[in-house]
Amino acid sequence: MRRAALMWLIGGFSTAAIALLLAFAVAVAVLGASLNGCSPEAAPSPTVEGPTPSAYALQSIPPERLSLYERAGERFDIDWSFLASIGAQECGNGECAGTNEAGCAGPMQIAYVRGSECSPGSGPTLWETYAVNADPGHPLSINNPADAIFTAARILREDKGAPPTGGTFAEYHEAACRYYGACGDSTVAYAEEVMARAVQYGFTGSGAPTATSPPLAEPVSGGCEASSGPPTPASSSRIVRVAESQLGQGEHPPGSNCTIFGPCEEWCSLFASWVWKRAGVPLPGSTATYGYSGSLYTWAKEHGGRVLPPTARPAPGDLVFFGGGPTESVHVAIVQSVYKDGRITTIDGNDDHNEVGIAGPFLPSEAVVQGQHIYGFAQPPSTEGHG
């Protein structure tokens, strides 16, 4: 039932799960929280049942989404870190709006269509049976993250046998198997990935193994309070600061293409979109959506950003693209500095090395990557500091 649903996501999120579990080469404990608008002085999250969020949870889960997982966990007495890991596995903490061809829908990929692969037979679907309106002030919708997360929590507790908060690793592992319809298949070790990520988020149930990256799995006391407001707008300096924070972050293991930035694949564009998103650029969906560098150029052009020719003078925080054009793009990097003589330095992911590094200074007209010259630059919408 669940296997077809996940395969509809083209393997991106299941592969991303593997990347998230493997790619913890640098311990950036509270950095992710601070880049999401939090600071050491920020008020702690409301007290809820379940583990304290780890540095990795604060880094990788948007604050408003983390708050939903915690609130749903408290309401339905289920470990929020497990629920959050299900959400990451199914949709990368994205929207996943709409119904897939297997009949599942929304951010938690809940069975939605009667008689479909997700819900065989003519009886009520899981959504029809367990749907929860998390905010009676708005219409119930499977595409609303709050409704989807609260409904998934109820399904896991009342239909899939998930134990209450404090349950064992084995009990939650079994619930993950039931949610997917199997513990895994040839495309994904579903339950293993869910539980490994839950441990990284902070899961401490009996029988839990050691986290793949103990420093990032450490709980962060006094973590930032989840905010339902919009992210801080991007600025040139903020984009560069986020990019610079990842210098040295790389593949684990080397040569695997597995990083914290997205699926285990060539990752220059995953890195660039990861930075823009955390700097406040409103890129929808997960970084996997922008795995091809030309997609970022096209997105900026179509959403209020500016695309500039290769002869233009870029600004720090801009993206620089190499190739024959947006449909023949081979590499993207982030402009770090612009010198008076026109030379630039860039911060690149996946450019002839296995970690984030700095290239330059060089003249854009002379730059070549994979035999290709620069075809343009892109600035995000309403970025401060751009003339």
Residue-level pLDDT at 328: 94
Residue-level pLDDT at 93: 81
Residue labelled with tokens 């450490």: 218
The 3-state DSSP class for residue 97 equals coil
Residue-level pLDDT at 23: 41
End-to-end CA distance of the chain: 52
Residue 372 belongs to some domain of the structure: yes
User: 312 is written with which tokens?
Assistant: 């233009």
Residue 223 belongs to some domain of the structure: no
Residue-level pLDDT at 262: 83
Domain count, the chain: 2
Q: Which residues on adjacent β-strands are paired with residue 347?
A: 334, 358
Domain shared by 297 and 206, yes or no: no
Q: Identify the domain boundary among 196, 217, 238.
A: 217
- C-alpha to C-alpha distance for 123 and 180, rounded to whole angstroms: 19
Domain shared by 299 and 183, yes or no: no
- C-alpha to C-alpha distance for 116 and 50, rounded to whole angstroms: 35
Residue-level pLDDT at 238: 84
Domain shared by 262 and 369, yes or no: yes
**pTM exceeds 0.75:** no
Q: Which residues on adjacent β-strands are paired with residue 111?
A: 104
Domain shared by 288 and 371, yes or no: yes
Residue-level pLDDT at 49: 66
Q: Where are the alpha helices (DSSP H) in 266-312?
A: 268-278, 293-302
- Cα 111 → chain centroid: 23
Q: Residue 186 is part of which domain span?
A: 2-217
Per-residue pLDDT of the chain (387 residues; tens, 9 = 90+): 444 343 333 334 344 443 443 343 333 333 443 444 333 333 334 445 689 999 888 877 888 899 999 999 999 999 999 999 999 888 888 778 899 989 999 999 999 999 999 999 999 999 999 999 998 888 999 999 999 999 999 999 999 999 999 999 999 999 999 999 999 887 778 999 899 999 999 999 999 998 877 777 888 854 443 333 334 446 788 888 888 888 888 887 788 888 888 888 899 999 999 999 888 888 888 888 898 989 999 999 999 899 999 999 999 999 999 999 999 999 999 999 999 889 999 999 987 678 899 998 999 999 999 999 999 999 998 644 443
Residue 246 belongs to some domain of the structure: no
Residue 240 belongs to some domain of the structure: no
Domain shared by 259 and 201, yes or no: no
DSSP, residue by residue, 29-44: TTHHHHHTT--TTSPP
Domain shared by 196 and 133, yes or no: yes
Domain shared by 282 and 183, yes or no: no
